[in-house]
């Protein structure tokens, strides 16, 4: 037994002795505080909500109205790339289009948003088409550009091209996230790039987590 192990055993013995000498109510408070601290810093397993990706081919696409796209250039491409990459790594598909190739196909087919979802799935050659429709994406309240109040919301749809209803969603989920977690932060305190990065990170997390089992912090602000 080395010196480090002896020191660790000695410290644990002192801690146990201290608890033994405490009155019962103090021991209960100490244990309760330790359990609460462990809960706040811990995590738990969350199951996927949609189970149709493993063993199937898939692709992710994202839409937003022109106002959102003009205000946040590159937002839809960023969400497509990062969500597609995350599901390739974690959702156990049989095949997925590499994100750079997926973006190239969509860029070279600008009419794809007007196509039926079954046609888009056929274009991409996949059995599962995940559509992220961004409804809201703002960094501050309308009319107040000096205080950050970011919010993003979307609806996630899944289409199964190998079903009898390839143009109708099999799964649908609404998601909304916010950032910062408290009010009053001004533009001089947090750079715009940090706000939009964290806001999109939170949206991507929530969307991606729908499709694979994952660990989530017990206390999560979004």
- Return the C-alpha torsion angle 199, 93, 157, 46, nearest 10: -60
Q: Computed over its alpha carbons, how large is the radius of gyration of the chain? A: 24
**Cβ atoms 171, 146 nearer than 8 A:** no
The mean pLDDT value of the chain amounts to 88
Domains in the chain, ordered, with CATH? 57-217 (3.40.50.10610)
The model's pTM is: 0.81
β-pair partners for 160: 128
- Reference 56, options 89, 107, 94, 26; nearest CA is 94
Cα–Cα distance, 76 to 110 (Å, whole number): 13
Residue 27 has pLDDT above 70, yes or no: no
Residue range 63-120, pLDDT digits in tens: 999 999 999 999 999 999 999 999 999 999 999 999 999 999 999 999 999 999 999 9
């Amino acid at each position: 037994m080395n010196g480090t192990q002896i020191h660790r055993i000695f410290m644990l013995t002192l801690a146990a002795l201290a608890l033994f000498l405490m009155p019962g109510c103090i021991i209960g408070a100490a244990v309760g505080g330790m359990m609460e601290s462990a809960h706040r810093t811990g995590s738990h397993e969350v199951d996927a909500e949609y189970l149709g990706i493993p063993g199937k081919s898939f692709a992710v696409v994202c839409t937003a109205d022109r106002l959102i796209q003009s205000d946040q250039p590159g937002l839809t491409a960023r969400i497509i790339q990062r969500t597609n990459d995350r599901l390739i790594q974690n959702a156990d598909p049989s095949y997925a289009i590499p994100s750079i190739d997926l973006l190239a196909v969509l860029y070279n087919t600008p009419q794809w948003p007007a196509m039926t979802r079954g046609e888009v799935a056929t274009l991409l050659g996949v059995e599962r088409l995940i559509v992220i429709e961004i409804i809201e994406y703002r960094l501050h309240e309308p009319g107040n550009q000096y205080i950050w109040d970011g919010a993003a919301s979307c609806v996630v749809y899944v289409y199964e091209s190998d079903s009898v209803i390839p143009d109708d969603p099999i799964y649908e989920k609404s998601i909304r996230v916010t950032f910062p977690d408290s009010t009053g932060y001004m533009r001089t305190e947090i750079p715009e790039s940090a706000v939009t990065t964290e806001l999109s990170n939170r949206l991507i997390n929530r969307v991606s987590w729908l499709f694979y089992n994952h660990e989530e912090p017990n206390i999560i602000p979004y």
